[in-house]
Structure 1
Amino acid sequence: MKSCAPLSLALAMIVLIVLSIAIAGCSEGVVSYDILVTKFDAGGHTAWSTKIGSGNQNLATAVTETPDAGYAVAGLVADSPRATAYPRVVRLDPDGRVLWDRTLDLSDVYSVAITGAPDGGFVVAQNINNFDSGKVSKIDADGQPVWNRTIDSALRAIIPARDGGFVLAGSRTFYIDANGTILWNRSFSSTSIREAAGGGFIAERSGVPYPDTSVFYLDNNGTVVWTTPVGSRESGKITSLFEDPTGDIEAVYTFYDSTKNKDVVMYMESEQVTLGRGGDITGRQPIVAVDPLTRTTDGGYAFLAYPFPGSSAFTTLPHSGSSLHFIRLSPGGAVAWDQSLGLSPAATPVSILQTRDGGYLTVVLVPS
């Protein structure tokens, strides 16, 4: 199963705005969103598109591919932009039809991450306050609750482990078994994490409130073996973390450069940072990819973004007169294709992943 990258920069801002308005109790001028899920073939042609809405506020924060080539979209649903946002999972079949739509419980959430379980169900990690409160829940293949565990950590990402357990990244880092029992609990904070091919885990910490973006290697017990800083921008965020077949780690570091902003449009830059097995930096390469993006099987990237005015660069945040683009990069970083999706500047890209059939799935928030 494949799952998406951590909460994107643009989506994180949308969620913050929605929650701040809910706290303030004001909804004037606030946009309500639906979730647009689109499947593309390997050549970038649209296979199907499904809009998920319920006449209220619909936000997606993660997506995972299922064994039957369907998808599970996790996010938030609220009666209005100012109302309490509850965790939600929507299951789609391989052709994009909604199989079921579940609101999980009554937790007011900031974001939701999801991964598949070996039995065909799902494990969902809820980030309740983005600081020290979270919940991890197991649901079965029909979306019915199996168990819930409250955890004293914000939960930002979840991955399956080889032994059937799960690893949770957040303000603390956890390893749980298939029943949700915590096997280890580390004070180490992380934004995303993945299993290393040779054992242990590769993690990263970036974004607010972590101005010093770093990559970490943890052993099987969650102990940090080495740490390597890869960027020091306050706005910087790792938007892709990948281990190649040789054991090298490739991290894409994306950041804003305010000195190049144009007409209040934020200028974004990225570089691919390569680290050896011991954590030493062996290379840096500028690339035009920005968040959200996915690593492709041929060593390139695919991402969603808005063209930056008057340049060959891209930005995550929408701006006047632009439309959202789907861009594919070759392994060398050249633009293989760049196509407009015809979505207005009010569209907010959430996630993109390459599917097992070589195609792509995109998740975008669009005005209701």
Structure 2
Amino acid sequence: MIDVRLSEDQETLRKTVAEFARDEIAPVIGEYYEKGEFPYEIVAQMGRMGLFGLPFPEECGGMGGDYFALCLALEELARVDSSVAITLEAGVSLGAMPVFRYGTAAQRAEWLPALVSGEALGAFGLTEPGGGSDAGATRTTARRDGDNWVINGTKAFITNSGTDITRLVTVTAVTGELDGRKQISAIIVPAGTPGFTVSKKYSKVGWSASDTRELSFSDCVVPASNLLGEEGRGYAQFLSTLDEGRVAISAVSVGLAQGCVDECVKYVREREAFGHKIGEYQSIQFKIADMEARTHVARLAYYEAASRMLRNEPFKRQAAIAKLVASSAAMDNARDATQIFGGYGFMNEFPVGRFYRDAKILEIGEGTSEVQRMLIARDLGLQRPWQ
């Protein structure tokens, strides 16, 4: 028997985050969004609530929860705003989690307390200007020089990499070659390291209140002890990290999709056209019903992926399915919500305007929809003819 009901603790967490999002984020996030400002006070509040520590054990300073608890929080945050949700998602999944999974005892002791408390943010530098989804095409290099690594290269579209509270960026770099193939390693680069330059914030279509930047490394020297995990295993570590991240991004997508439903239901009960509330017209009812159905299916998809992950069962295919279905639901719902709102849906002062701007990146970030389809096909045993 399959039971998708939340436990009492899970439901309490969901309600707590939903209340925080409604009462603390919703009234102020529009101004942050319009100005393109990072919401430091909101992030600090999330830290005090323990949201950055949700999936980490108490001995690391965490809340002793699990990854599904994080996903529940992300969904409720994204129901109101995706910039805040992605700041938490990236801070946990890409900033702190790799250190927790692969770090030495010394690395965990040095970095995790601040990361899991939300006092500091970490970032993960994988994508490069010419690489995109082809992470294996990494050009950034790290050369061993005695007791140090010397890093040279550029990373693009890196979330949480340039805030005032960013403490580190873990970067992937080519550290050697074996049998004609690049050996990629992951290396921790502390913020402020000489030779590490953080560019100004991108001017983005959406996620305007989150921090996203290009990074460059020019003879950037860090200690050899900053190697994260095994040398030459950085790419494999990243793939595992990304599988988990796709479940989290699915939760963000479901939150945005549900937020579109929430806003539309409220709006059509108030808006009148041709003498009637527009919610009385069957065409509007059907459109909102389709939106709710998409959201429901996407939520079940990420619930299953998270469940398999927590049971230590293979979940790569399920994570890809969840990411594909949920990001598509978010984009479709944002488009339909904007249509229902009409001209008001094109105004940034209304949440659906922000939802529309935020939705598209969900079909791109942490693996495009095309990559998800490729992963699903491969897991079904369908290979490319040249493999």
TM-score, length basis structure 2: 0.24
Question: Greater share of helix residues, 1 or 2?
Answer: 2
Larger Rg: 2
- Higher-strand-fraction structure: 1
Higher relative contact order (CA 8 A, sep 6+): 2
